Amino acid sequence: MRLDAVVFDLDGVLLDSEQVWDAAREQLVRERGGGWHERAQRDMMGMSSPEWSRYMHDQLGVPDPPAEISAEVVRRLERLYRERLPLIPGAGKAVERLAERWSLALASSSNRELIDLALELMGLARHFQATVSSEEVGRGKPAPDVYLEAARRLSVDPDTAAAIEDSQNGIYAAKAAGMRVVAIPNRHFPPDSEALARADVVLDSLAELTAEAVEPR
């Protein structure tokens, strides 16, 4: 199989940000008098902003309307990113290595404002021909929508693209889209063994993310 493109996830692959999201959401829930629980972060991983803001309203008891919940979390993340972007070591070099060989896209559960800000702060925007937020499609991960849209914007067939993922829902989403999946397990919220078994390649870190690792043998 010949690959035409590579699609990166953002949170957990290029940014060590899952716990930043976790902290911002938990803080907002507690400030608004809701009830946070240990399962909340894993439940929300991969959800689009309309999905997780409704979850926070319906399941965690935040009284604000979902749109206001989403906007407030985004404001907090923007402030934190500008203070210190949680860039994973080797992220820039990994993107540059693969950009030498393939067209790149980014398919993320982050809001559009945070995707654009992160790529600007990382200085990597020029390497991506397309970026997709799950708020721009019908369903968040583990549904394949965000990956299918990334392939559409790149004008490639999904089965000729590889996805770089860290999370359980992300792996399922990329596989459902028909993509080759390269997993770099999230160290804070690792995928279970069943999800990892669905990946085509499992790497320990971005340092191992080379064209040779991504290319089907």
Catalytic sites, residue numbers: 9, 11
Phi and psi torsions of 17, nearest 5°: -120, -5
Indicate the Cα dihedral angle 172, 59, 51, 28, nearest 10°: -110
Find out whether 24 and 73 touch, Cβ atoms under 8 Å: yes
**Which residue type is seen at 3?**
L
**Which residue type is seen at 114?**
L
CA distance 61 to 54: 10
**Bridge partner residues of 183 (DSSP):** 165, 202
Instruction: Map tokens 């991504």 to a residue.
Output: 214
